[in-house]
Structure 1
């Protein structure tokens, strides 16, 4: 599975249910669209999420937010912001040397109550719609597989979404993102200097690593690539997955 950024053949944007959000602005001049950030909504239901993403006057203390697309649990896809505009979905964020990623990314919100309101598996119809949507986005923009990421990957100090129940492996099998094949991740042994080795590998992959709280980036990695055990520990299983993902990311 290549981590290169080969641009797929151009594809016309399909028709979606439209619900324009007022919360967007112009992308920075000259900045490429080279990232795809996947989120869960983390709200009680799809209606509340849609209203929040289109709210011109949010509740006191909350920022205005939006995304390009919202995918409901039955597979219905809403377009809220045109892809050529900057949606406000990632906030304070970092990946592979770049920060404030809204300007260079497409944001997709996937309806799920999240860890606060009853986190649950993502239905098959929803995941099929997510895959179809992502394939279209990747056909329209030169986004390399290593830049198909979770909100939790780019903001591990604040976010967990879309979390450890999200089917990243299934998406990767369709050419969306990366997944290390046949790499065991269940070894709980704690190697000497494991945390230091994990921090180095996380930085190579692209994560922001806080030296004072390295567990946050480890947990974010585990939610994406080592979902069977999310505990923030740099054990042998996690290190094996880290090595495998770093190799994919750095492959020419």
Structure 2
């Protein structure tokens, strides 16, 4: 492929060789948001287009709002890695990936800028229309790979995206003292928590024991939906927020 016209108006094109066909007739019906986790956007762009990296994304959004498309939306970019959502383990074949330039947790993790987020919103709106992506399938990389990834992290403004019609969102329940489930907890309350997380989409085992996988899923959930305190402990605020999200899903389907 020598070139292509961008799927999204205004996007620049820089072709990555790291892509292939979507597998088994699968189509994109999800959007996965990442941060680059590198020192500069230029370095991230070069890495995503380097055949030795074996990674890519459909889009990269720079700090100044510039959008670069590297893989056609019809194709399978290599951005999700080992992942799971609602039992689907090939999220690369089911999603469009957007890398957002940000140094990430290990290199300073700065706030996302206004121009950058406006560009992300515009891009997500376009992708959602082209691929009929439902709000609940606009996801964080950490949602689908909680054991490995923390991006785009607790500083990402999901509330602002939701105000523009992007993503599934409820106001987080207030944090207060009370009973909480943590690593080592066991019993029916843990099983109920795991069942709710799995129903929402997280890849957790329903065992009744608060294991590492449950801690990772709770941490990912908090980064996305209750970012004021990210500690992997399922306090009342976390559980109430999860219940409210599930209730909103049921209401939307009804």
Query: What is residue 93 of structure 1 aligned with on the other side?
Result: 83
> Paired residue for 1:13?
8
Summarize the alignment of residues 234-249 of structure 1 with structure 2, pairs less than 5 Å apart: 234-249=234-249
For residues 140-164 of structure 1, what are the alpha-carbon distances to aligned partners after superposition, in whole Å with 9 as ceiling and x for unaligned? 0021111110000000000000000
**Higher mean C-alpha displacement, 203-212 vs 90-99:** 203-212
Give 1:170's aligned residue: 160
> What's the offset of the Cα at 1:97?
2.2
Structure 2: how far apart are the matches of 1:208 and 1:147? 15
1:143 aligns with 2:121: no
- Corresponding position of 1:30: 25
Judging changes above 3 Å, is the alpha-carbon distance between structure 1 residues 189 and 96 closer, same or farther for their aligned structure 2 residues?
same
Summarize the alignment of residues 117-196 of structure 1 with structure 2, pairs less than 5 Å apart: 117-181=107-171, 183-191=172-180, 194-196=189-191
8 Å contact 1:194–1:239 — kept in the other structure?
no
**CA distance in 2 between partners of 1:250 and 1:38 (Å):** 24
1:112 counterpart residue number: 102
Structure 2 CA distance, aligned partners of 1:194 and 1:226? 20
For residues 170 and 82 of structure 1, the distance between their equivalents in structure 2, rounded to whole angstroms, comes to 27
The answer (yes or no) to whether the contact 2:84–2:145 under 8 Å persists in 1 is: yes
Q: Does 1:52 align with 2:47?
A: yes
Distance 1:184 1:250 in 2: 19
CA contact (8 A) 1:39 1:151 kept: yes
TM-score, normalised with respect to structure 1 = 0.89
Structure 2: tracts of 5 or more residues without a match: 1-6, 182-187
Q: CA deviation at 1:57?
A: 1.9
Structure 1 residues not aligned, in runs of 5+: 1-11, 59-63
**Residues 42 and 117 in structure 1, CA contact (< 8 A), matched pair in contact too:** yes
> Alpha carbons of 1:219 and 1:191: their partners in 2 closer, same or farther (altered >3 Å)?
closer
| Greater relative contact order, per chain length (Cα 8 Å cut-off, separation 6+) | 1
1:77 aligns with 2:67: yes
- Matched residue SS, 1:161: coil
Count how many residue pairs are aligned between Structure 1 and Structure 2: 235
Q: Which piece of structure 1 moves more, 236-245 or 22-31?
A: 22-31
Q: CA deviation at 1:188?
A: 3.6
- Is the 1:185–1:240 Cα contact (8 Å) retained in structure 2? no
- Partners of 2:8 and 2:123 within 8 A in 1: no
Give me the CA root mean square deviation: 1.5
TM-score by length of 2: 0.88
Q: Distance in 2 between matches of 1:176 and 1:223?
A: 17
Q: Does residue 222 of structure 2 align to residue 227 of structure 1?
A: no
Q: CA deviation at 1:106?
A: 0.2
